[in-house]
Amino acid sequence: MLRDKLKSFLASDMLMVKEALCNTFNYTVCTEINGAILLDMFKLIIRGFVCKFKYVVDVGTGSGKFIRSLVNVCKNSSQFIIGVDIDCERLYKAKDPLNEYLVDLVCSDASRSPFRNGSADLITMFLTLHEVEEDIVDSIILEAKRVLKKDSLLLFIDKYLFKASKPSEEVSLMTEEAYHKAMEYAEGIKLWGLREPKEYIGKFTQHGFKVILKKDVRGKHINGETFIKSWGRDTVRLANAIGDESRRNEVMSLVSKIRELGVKHGYGPVRLILLILKS
């Protein structure tokens, strides 16, 4: 029953959003491609879905971009969102733009959150799990299950590992590889990294979640000039902090290859997996 309601809701909203985009913004591509939702359409659908829940916990909030998108679209005066992240500095920067909304930001390890059992209607994880330490992935998922109300939902969206078919897609994968290697070599932190969709699903089902909906999402291609201007600062900063010369050279060689391919071919489109899971 729940699965059917969700599919019906998303199908009807997709038609509505597609018509609105095509008629209002004159989008040249207003359909699904190879079974994947186009990113602009996907954003509106997901925001509309999240707006229907009263108590929402966002895990891995970071700078608050995802929450800002939600509150700007939802304009739901009764919805209460709590953003959780272990990086207190990033949360502090995210605070001011959200002051006028029913949003709290909590600096906490997502594997040991301060929330009561069964207190959330919905948990969101947007580009979170591939950026957390490998040894706490299971704890984060278990903690989400504890905080969710019985039979409530978790919305999971993350980049996934795939076989690149063109150089720009290879660039999107190499940027993740370079950053994660730099993080491990410089600070000794091994992140979980990109995984195949079946691995993400396996982690959740292992801990008692049931998949209600699964969908691929495609982002936009970013041209070479824009990509080169915007990418690499954090990766290079970490690379320069690597003490071992051979490892530092390994990362910088990868950075050089990314720049070479990126300026010629651009970046992406990135591929993401969307899961709606029942606790």
Q: What is the pLDDT of residues 128-169, one digit of tens each?
A: 999 999 999 999 999 999 999 998 999 999 999 999 999 999
Integer angstrom CA distances of residue 222 from 38, 174, 234, 243, 258: 15, 15, 19, 33, 14
**C-beta separation of 54 from 80 below 8 A:** yes
SS3 126: strand
Q: Would you give the end-to-end CA distance of the chain in angstroms? A: 15
The domain locations on the chain are: 2-278
Superfamily of domain 2-278: Vaccinia Virus protein VP39 (3.40.50.150)
Please list the residues that pair with 105 across neighbouring strands: 83
**C-beta separation of 262 from 226 below 8 A:** no
Spatial strand order in the sheet of 80-85: 36-38, 210-218, 271-278, 148-159, 120-126, 55-59, 80-85, 103-107
**What is the 8-class DSSP label of residue 34?**
T
Per-residue pLDDT of the chain (279 residues; tens, 9 = 90+): 555 555 554 554 444 434 433 333 333 333 444 555 556 666 666 666 788 899 999 999 998 888 888 887 787 678 899 999 999 999 988 888 888 888 999 999 999 999 999 999 999 999 999 999 999 999 999 999 999 999 899 999 999 999 999 999 999 999 999 999 999 999 999 999 999 999 999 999 999 999 988 888 888 899 999 999 999 999 999 999 999 999 999 999 999 999 999 999 999 999 999 899 999
* φ, ψ (nearest 5 deg) of residue 231: -105, 150
Please list the residues that pair with 42 across neighbouring strands: none
**What is the 8-class DSSP label of residue 266?**
-
The Cβ of residue 129 has, within 10 Å, a number of other Cβ atoms equal to: 24
